[in-house]
Structure 1
Amino acid sequence: MNSKFDESVEALLEAIRKHDSIQAFKKAEQHIKKLPELEHLAHKMKAYQQDAVLFQKIEKDQAASKAGQEADKLEQELSQLPVVQDYRDKMQDASDLLQYITKTLEKKINEELTDAK
Structure 2
Amino acid sequence: MRQFEESVEKLLAAVRKHDSVQAFQKAEQHVKELPELERLAHKMKAYQQDAVLFQKIEKDQAASQAGYKADELEQELSRLPVVQDYREKMQDASDLLQYITKTLEEKINKELIDDK
Alignment of 1:28-43 (within 5 A): 28-43=27-42
Q: Which runs of 5+ in 2 are unaligned?
A: none
Question: By how many angstroms is 1:84 displaced?
Answer: 0.1
Question: Residue 109 of structure 1 corresponds to which residue in structure 2?
Answer: 108
For residues 46-95 of structure 1, give each alpha carbon's deviation from its aligned partner in whole angstroms, at most 9, with x where no partner exists: 00000000000000000000000000000000000000000000000000
Which 4+ runs in 1 deviate beyond 2 A? none
Root mean square deviation of aligned Cα: 0.3
Aligned residues: 116
Give the 5 Å matches for 1:74-85. 74-85=73-84
Matched AA of 1:14: A
Give distance in 1, aligned partners of 2:14 and 2:39. Answer: 35
Distance 1:56 1:115 in 2: 54
Structure 2 counterpart of 1:92 = 91
Establish whether residue 14 from structure 1 lines up as the match of residue 9 from structure 2. no
Task: Indicate the residue corresponding to 2:23 in structure 1.
Answer: 24
Structure 1 length normalisation: TM-score? 0.99
Q: Which runs of 5+ in 1 are unaligned?
A: none
Q: How does 1:62-73 map to 2 (within 5 A)?
A: 62-73=61-72
